[in-house]
A and B are shown apart, each in its own frame.
Chain A
Amino acid sequence: MDSMTYIAVASIVTAGITTGFGCLGPALGEGYSVATALKSLAQQPDAASTITRTLFVGLAMIESTAIYCFVVSMILIFANPFWNHAIAAAGH
């Protein structure tokens, strides 16, 4: 295989693994935080607005790690710098 194929294979496989593991962790974290928030909502319905707001901010925080992984895999697939470099090097 030439270097282009190596780059393509490595990028595609890494993008899949990145999104897979990047969804796994935040999914566990978000599930746990929503479960805890529901539990505390059931115990203290008066504090609903504070709990919901903190939950939303926290969920966005957790979800941003998944978004980082998604951005990395999108860059690997659609805007791969190594691939562009190899194309530029082949052109010369």
Chain B
Amino acid sequence: MRISPDQLILWQHGIFKLNSTIVTSWVLMVFLTVGAMLITRRLAHTAKVSGWQSFLEIIVTGINTQIKEAGLAQPEKYIGFIGTLFLFIATSSICTIIPGYEPPTGSLSTTAALALSVFIAVPFFGIASQGLSGYLKSYAQPTVIMLPFNIISEFSRTLAMAIRLFGNMMSGGMIVGILLSITPFLFPIVMTGLGLLTGMVQAYIFSILATVYIAGAIQARKVSPQITTKG
């Protein structure tokens, strides 16, 4: 039994291996990019708006509202990063309704890459917002004694984000696989439906956590964010 789509190798030439994770994530990236380009090519400002444009507007407005509610006052600056994370994870879990598809987020390499990009984005936005010294000071925030713990939490929450997404997506596929061998027909369908819900919740959680971490980095001294979390 495979525990990650990394082990499903579709094409191999010498040392170059093309596994299922790479192929599905590139297909998803092309799908999202081309879809967004096709829809935004002819944007209408009049009262008559095409259905696809309304669809994208709903998504963008919804993500903006969520980012604002989680503690970032100017969501337009961050939606490019957080919205991309959300859309990629959400699409990769919704596509599990396609037969033979394995979500690329069910591989630890994909989730580790996503978590690493959050790990880099947090100091990036923090320094852009309050300067290098201001950001570095936020590590010694309540007292200097907390300095090592703040640094440890920076790493541990990155690890936690990667493992959480990987574990949830992997467990969904694995439970369906195990149930197929025990009780076929009905229960795997129910668990697939539950897996879709879990995938959406995990996409939401991942992007909200990224938002909360960025919010904690840019406004560490002003207001404490609404949700304080430890990794």
CB-CB under 8 A from B140, the residues of chain A are none
If A54-B227, A57-B227, A57-B229 touch, does A68 touch B205 (CB 8 Å cutoff)? Answer: no
Which of B1, B3, B167 contacts A64 (CB under 8 A)?
A: B167
Say yes or no for B201: interface residue by CB 8 A criterion: yes
Does B226 contact A50, Cβ atoms closer than 8 Å?
Answer: yes
The bracket for how many chain A residues form the interface is 10 to 19
The bracket for how many chain B residues form the interface is 20 to 34
Which of A56, A57, A71 contacts B167 (CB under 8 A)?
A: A71
The SS class assigned to the A binding surface is helix
CB-CB under 8 A from A63, the residues of chain B are 164
Q: Which residue of B lies closest to A64 (CB)?
A: B164
CB-CB under 8 A from A71, the residues of chain B are 163, 166-167, 170
Which of B1, B160, B171 contacts A70 (CB under 8 A)?
A: B171
Say yes or no for B204: interface residue by CB 8 A criterion: yes
Does A67 contact B167, Cβ atoms closer than 8 Å?
Answer: yes
Does A68 contact B167, Cβ atoms closer than 8 Å?
Answer: yes
Say yes or no for B115: interface residue by CB 8 A criterion: no
Distance in Å from the Cβ of B192 to the closest Cβ of chain A?
18
CA distance A71 to B108 in the complex (A): 11
Q: Which residue of A lies closest to B166 (CB)?
A: A71
Say yes or no for A74: interface residue by CB 8 A criterion: yes
Does A60 contact B69, Cβ atoms closer than 8 Å?
Answer: no
Say yes or no for B179: interface residue by CB 8 A criterion: no
Does A61 contact B204, Cβ atoms closer than 8 Å?
Answer: no
Does B201 contact A60, Cβ atoms closer than 8 Å?
Answer: yes
CB-CB under 8 A from B171, the residues of chain A are 67, 70
Say yes or no for B191: interface residue by CB 8 A criterion: no
Does B70 contact A53, Cβ atoms closer than 8 Å?
Answer: yes
CA distance A79 to B174 in the complex (A): 14
A42-68 near B? 1/0 per residue, CB < 8 Å: 000000011001101110110110011
Does B205 contact A60, Cβ atoms closer than 8 Å?
Answer: yes
CA distance A22 to B110 in the complex (A): 25
Say yes or no for A78: interface residue by CB 8 A criterion: yes
B194-227 near A? 1/0 per residue, CB < 8 Å: 0000000110110011001000000000000011
Say yes or no for B168: interface residue by CB 8 A criterion: yes
Distance in Å from the Cβ of B202 to the closest Cβ of chain A?
7
The 3 closest A-B pairs by CB, nearest first: A67-B167, A64-B164, A60-B205
Jot down 29 A-B pairs with beta carbons below 8 A, ordered by A: A50-B226, A53-B70, A53-B208, A53-B227, A56-B201, A57-B208, A57-B212, A57-B227, A58-B229, A60-B164, A60-B201, A60-B202, A60-B205, A61-B230, A63-B164, A64-B167, A67-B163, A67-B164, A67-B167, A68-B163, A68-B167, A71-B163, A71-B166, A71-B170, A74-B3, A74-B170, A75-B3, A78-B1, A79-B3
